[in-house]
Amino acid sequence: MAPDSNSVLSFIKLPTGSSVLGHGERPAHIFHEPINELDRTNDMTETIDARSSKKVPDGKLIRVDLTYDDRIESVTITGDFFLEPPEAREELERAIEGHPNDVERDELLVAIQDVDASLIGFTAGDLADVTREALT
């Protein structure tokens, strides 16, 4: 009989050398389904929210808020800078999303530079640096 959503998981301390398995029973039989058929969609990866900001010398403030696990899931770029066209901010965010969390600065730089936008008060390198800093 499979446990229902109202089941409670409890742990007990067993004496040293004790086992909850029956004689000759293999650990895979503890589960109600074979281990290779268990749902693995809820793995143990942790989503991290991070923020970094930079005041560019003689320039503007750039802030990057992102959510990532093994890849960058979402990015929000804010600050007191200007972009032309203004909607390029969303394109820059999409250019950063999807990269692995250990992405190199140069790879980010290329992705940012591929967006057709004029960055006023900061450079593509500044944005790549702030993004990398948020990931560390």
pLDDT by residue (tens digit) across 24-48?
A: 555 544 444 444 444 445 555 689 9
The residue ranges of DSSP E strands in 1-136, in sequence order, are 48-55, 61-68, 72-79, 82-84, 118-120
pTM higher than the cut 0.85: no
Report, as an integer, the average pLDDT of 105-114: 97
Quote the pLDDT of residue 115: 96
Quote the pLDDT of residue 30: 47
Quote the pLDDT of residue 62: 96
The CA distances from residue 100 to 9, 74, 94, 133, 134, in Å, are: 35, 12, 13, 14, 13
Domains of the chain as residue ranges with CATH: 48-135 (3.30.390.50)
Identify which has the larger pLDDT, 34 or 51. Answer: 51
In this predicted structure, the answer to whether residue 136 has a pLDDT above a threshold of 70 is yes
